[in-house]
Structure 1
């Protein structure tokens, strides 16, 4: 068996988006990827919007995704560390994955150092210039008041409303990465502002649905993980360097 030393990063799978058949196919693809990487993965970072919607009631979670959850349990039981990042579609994660999988749930950024390389990790929503309306909504949706109010709604109604909202907050834009002005890309602007204060070798995000690897300066890079609707893209750190790859 290969030694487990690698870090794997993926984002924006949006399970539950589209038709049931399309979501199941995407889930099966992700499970095959997890099965492939389990031989050499030390840590797996699922960096937001794994689900198109997620809310944990006290005794209820959204049904489905049993193949994915079973595979994640297998990895966890094998000693592979799993991280869940809250995205803008699945920000209402609480302690379910911590209790069932021993996972770490990350609300905002996570800073880690591995093999002498420093990583800044974040889903990517609400950062950088602009998008002021979403930043206000994010604060409200993450507030205890909003979560308490939503929890008072019966799951049949609450999850139905949330799925309708989520389906209309569309998964889009993945095919336009060639049109991106990398100097004006708002997460690149954010990264360069952060680097004025603190050095990171790699700044890794999801959210933008575009696989991107952009030099921020001579030593630091911005990595966007893309998504799993068009690209099935992910990143892997082998102890020396990080690179984008595509699962087929």
Structure 2
């Protein structure tokens, strides 16, 4: 049986309500059930949760169906990668210890079947958004994370969820294609291409499914999100395609 590599991002589980999140989680698990027989590797490329913070002995409650499914897939030998996004950048070692998932903090370069992939959630890259780039450095600072960890979970998780909700609302206008010359991740990818070759640039964060041909040999793919599009990418060993899941 042919084994594929799958890429998905921006599930934003936990938002905007418990009921909607649970329905989305069920849909995602259905998708994972569907792809599992053909999956060799799964790349979850950020913002899987609308907010996540790991205290030393506490993690956010819920999402047990997704975590159980990922643990099952990992136990069956499927390699799973979890990219830190701007909403779940405070993932530490819980998924690695409990599910054998490899956590990726920034960019990750792989080569599969002669094709080179540049992988990143997409936050903080390209021109503009200088305010967030500063905040990203602050939020990822170990001292900042320690200070937040001393806040009781009931308060800390409430603050984090409120901040994530505002961030998500502020980004709703991102679901409009701005033209290749104005797409910041396409601009960033072209800058990298001037230095070295990649066949595929794959990102999340943007929330709009995009598949742009950067030159004769290189493509930029944005994975979209699962609140509206249910979009993902799959590499079958020869070609990468951007697809959409429809529950049966």
Q: What TM-score does the superposition give when structure 1 sets the normalisation length?
A: 0.96
- The residue correspondences of 1:135-174 to structure 2 (distance < 5 A) are 135-171=133-169, 172-173=171-172
Structure 2 equivalent of residue 87 of structure 1: 85
Structure 1 equivalent of residue 132 of structure 2: 134
Equivalent position to 1:39, from 13, 37, 40: 37
Moved over 6 A (4+): none
Work out whether residues 175 and 207 of structure 2, in 8 Å CA contact, stay in contact via their aligned partners in 1.
no
Equivalent position to 2:62, from 61, 64, 80: 64
Name the SS of the counterpart of 1:9 in structure 2: strand
Name the SS of the counterpart of 2:131 in structure 1: helix
The whole-number CA distance in structure 1 between the counterparts of 2:188 and 2:126 is: 5
Work out whether residues 174 and 230 of structure 1, in 8 Å CA contact, stay in contact via their aligned partners in 2.
no
- Shift of residue 180 of structure 1? 2.3
- Shift of residue 175 of structure 1? 8.3
Work out whether residues 174 and 209 of structure 1, in 8 Å CA contact, stay in contact via their aligned partners in 2.
no
Equivalent position to 1:225, from 223, 226, 235: 223
Q: CA RMSD in A?
A: 1.1
**Structure 1 unmatched runs, 5+:** none
The whole-number CA distance in structure 1 between the counterparts of 2:172 and 2:183 is: 14
Name the SS of the counterpart of 2:89 in structure 1: coil
The whole-number CA distance in structure 2 between the counterparts of 1:167 and 1:221 is: 31
Structure 2 equivalent of residue 122 of structure 1: 120
Aligned length: 245
Equivalent position to 2:234, from 229, 233, 236: 236
Structure 2 equivalent of residue 182 of structure 1: 180
- Shift of residue 182 of structure 1? 1.4
